[in-house]
Structure 1
Amino acid sequence: MKLTKLALGVTVASLSLAACKQEAAKNDGAAATTTGETTTTEVSNDVVYVNADTLLANYDLFKDVKTRLEGKAKKAEADLKSKATAFEREVGQYQQSAQGMSNEQRAVTEQRLARRQQEIANLNQSESNRLMSEESEEQKKIYDKVEAYLKDYSKDKGYKMVLSYSRGNSAILFGDPSLDITQDVLKGLNEAYAKEKEAPKAEAKTEEKKK
C-alpha cells in the first residue's frame, strides 16, 4: 500500500504577502541608511521552503507508518486470497457433482455459492475502505506533527512563511539553496520522533523499578 505524499503547504503566524516585505528602516540608522534620494534597506530572509519529497523519504515517522500500513495491506490481501481460493474450490466441486444433483439441490447450492461470492466481495470492499480510512488518519497525524513543528521552528528562527517544494508538483520553479531548510527540519523532526518512541520504554522502566 502506498502512503500518499503530504501536501506540506504550511503557513506560519498571521501571514500575507505584504508581511513578507518588511521595511527594516529604524530611527537609529542600524537597519537603514538614507543619503539624499538613495535608501538602503536590509531585509531578512523571512520566507523559506522545505523539499516535501526529501522530507517524507527521510522522516522516520513517515517510514514507520508506511511500513505498518503496507504490512496490514499485505495481511488483508492474503486473507482475501485464502477465502477466494477456498471459494474457487467449492465452485469446482459443485461443477463436478452438479449432474448428479436434483434441481432443488443445485438451486440450494448455487444460492449458497452466490451468497459466499457476495460476502467475499463485500469483505474486499470493506477492507479497502478500512485501510484507506486508516491511511487518511495517519496522513493527518503526520501533517499535524510537521505543521506544529514548523510553527515552533519558524517562530524560533524568525521566519514568516514556510513553502513546500515538490518536483513536478509545485508552484516554486526555483528556490535559492540558502532558503532550503529541509535538512534542519528533518533533523529536528526525527529527533522529536525518537524521543516519542523512547518515552514508553522509559515509563516502563520507571514502573518496573517501583514494583
Structure 2
Amino acid sequence: MSETVPVRCPACRREHVYTAPSYPCACGAPVTPSLDGGAEPARVAHRAWDEEWVTVSCGSCGRRDQWPQPELGCPCGTVLRVPLAGTGSAPAPAPEPRPPFRPVTIRTSRDAVTAAALYLRWLGHRDIRRADQRPPSGIGLAAHGLVAQVNPDLRPTSLRDVECLWLTAMTEDSDCVCFSLAGYEQDARDRADALGVALFVLDLTGTPQPVNRPADDLRAAGG
C-alpha cells in the first residue's frame, strides 16, 4: 500500500499531503519507497541524473531496483524532494515469466524519460543511466550493450535523429532504440527499418508501442 506523509514547503511553509507512487517489481508486486514523514524535505535547485533515482527493496521478494526519486511540486514554484526512510536489503532472483509492463502516466518531459527507462528495465536492462554522449535532440540513455534516445518534444523524430543514434550505437558496439512522444517522420521510419533501429512511440499512458519490426523483436526477446 502506498505511504502518505505530511510535507511542509520550507519556502512558503504551506502544508501538503504526499502519497508515494508505486512501481512494478519484476516479481509483479508493487514497490513503494518508504518515506520519512518527520524529516524536512529538500529543495531541488538543479537537476543531476544520479540524484533522480533511489534504490528501493521489494517487500515481497527482496529485489533491489532503482526508481524515480519521490518529489512534490509546491504551488509556490518550489520543487521538493521527499526524504526517504531506510530501504532495507535482501536480494533475490527475478522470477519467470516476465510480468506485464506497468506504465507511468506522462505529463512532463521527465515523465517520458522515466517511462522509457522503466520500459528498458522491464526488458532486462538493469543498469539504465544517462548516456555519456548527448544526442542532437532529446535525452540519451544507456545500458550495457544498448544506447537509447527519448524525444519528448511535440515534433516527430527526424531522419537526422535516427541516423545520429545509429552512428553512436556503432561507435559503442551497441544496439539502439528510440522512444518518441510525437512519432516519426516517414523518412526516419524508412531509415530505421534499413539500419535496424528499434522505434517506439510513447502514448500518454506511458506505454511504449513498437512501430517497426526491430521494436517488435526487441519487445518479444526482452533485454
Q: TM-score, normalised by structure 2?
A: 0.20
Q: Report 1 or 2 for greater relative contact order, CA contacts < 8 Å, sequence distance ≥ 6.
A: 1
Which structure has more strand as a fraction of its residues?
Answer: 2
Could you say which structure has the larger radius of gyration?
A: 1
TM value normalised by structure 1: 0.21
